[in-house]
Structure 1
């Protein structure tokens, strides 16, 4: 990485450097923003939302690199040029190395998300219950999200998969303490088995060389984060965190906007949720949840969910104000949240729509969506956003009592947030 130095006013007369020039000086060709800045591991410090003006972002990047800017943002000019000297700043293309424990629905989709991004690198997968050949098949073909189309995928040997020319190490270890993450350079491990969801169990990955563990499920004792809502509360000393649930990731951004703008006195949530791998194809034993043991493809099944109560963990202002339930329905992907709330501040339904639309185009862009189209569930398969507000589906009884509807791809959207959370944590370490 080349050092940058400030230009004085005399230099300014002879230079007309724009933002792209500054980025090129550092060997950076991608100026779209998000991937660039996450590669620099300062995503949230310098890119708090996609409306940040590009000059401001570059100014902060340059400041991070130790340069001094002497021009006001209004000029639109970046007063820096390369010196050709080397320093010890890490290369901008250094990727965040990820390992995945458990190659089920979420594990495979987190892998798909990671392999399509430039800021992270999948280096290892552990699953003791499937062979490398079968792992390849399960990754390559997906009944919901379609076949893998981005790299040629093949087995190099019993311990290595090749995505194009990129090797990914495969382990088949049952005890997480014995998974040698450190040998692969995997600093971040996604714990997606659904088994090791508390801090003590997830901590086993640290013994194998992982530095941070992200649990892809709610946890009874690990700090819980929802990107777009409370990720800035993360502290570097947190080695084990939870990405909450897919439903909490849908509900929390919507609830945050409503509470920030109008105040929530109390509310009830219902999620109409697609079937998941824990359900039965035909009626079978389910001692803890008798209704959950009924055939998933043939029934609408009432179920419990802690998603609404979990919102109180990521938004303390709503603690004790929300609860909810679930209906499991015979669709394979995409779910929808119905949030019915009593407002502290009177608002028309148009006021609410406008507030959500504004946030969806501002600091919650990419997390919270907004649509006025006549959509149905399959329209959201593969949507990476956490929550897409359906303006036409909601209703208001009066200016203090409303029902709001928001869609989410409970697989792809959630898996995207797992990777986003990793990138954010990396930027803070």
Structure 2
């Protein structure tokens, strides 16, 4: 098949392009700009467009299908040409469903923890030499790509994002997968530019629950009251398996999980991660891995990239980078670090970077999110607010929203970096939370200074 990607440079899109190329498909693509690491990875496989931009002349009847990325606009010249020629146009999730419709589809959804849970499942499968097809939202240790597709594997494990499918298909991605086995980790309002009310957001998870195949399996976090209500009210004929935080204790900075094999030390920590582990265990058991095999494998799981990722450490200091940006994730991550390092000062830095987090009306959702930190810093760029065409957000609004009088706020990247690199990090756990990079912060520098 000849497949053309419109917006091939995206994180998910370029991984799918590589996976299909490895499967033997003929791949072409376009984009108006491509950043690293997508650029190098596409170039290595001969898939990087010769020049950036949109070229409708690339779109001909020789193309069997077009895959349309979210980065493209609805009036994209290549898209318009594909429509004019009557070519089959897929969104990213639609095409993944086509690739997996004859497999057992395992879909991991929820407002938080999706990438970590999917990563845990793939780590366990890999450990036990069980090959599965997959799509995950982060680069994993031991896995070359974020998407892997075959003709022969029985299972397809999919991270189920609730964000929109494409510029011309405004359904949430996870509505398109029709899972045989699913997991929901929790519901915490996010993506307010798409789901303007919490009720509207909750509805997406109800639709997802009802999209399971008849007789399908739903694994869900029963400690989330909203989610519990959504799943337990579902009327389609599915089997429901609740999970909750397992018993554990922390000794000398190590989390010990209570298991049938005795107390087991883990590489990961935090109640949210232990919930993720409990959910992953259920899924792996439904995929044929028994409990003892799961524990044997999960003990070596170090976490997904940018999810409480340890980037530097010495005897008295540890530095973590985390993707957390929504209020529930920020709160859970900060609590986890403080519980794990209760004898140390926790310095938590949060960058408000996404559309939701920079929205003046949504800011109040952050109340108390940084309360567990000994020192709390918020960084945001007024330029980012301008680019996203949002109302101006003031330092006073941020302090009021977080309800923390001693909150430190920076809007200038240089001043923020000066503050950070002039700190005495002795006896400190530094937590850097962002889906951005604080206006160009060099994370590698922490390995030199601590």
- What TM-score, normalized by structure 2, do the two folds share? 0.31
Over alpha carbons, which structure has the higher Rg? 1
Structure with bigger RCO (C-alpha 8 Å, 6+ apart):
1
- What TM-score, normalized by structure 1, do the two folds share? 0.32
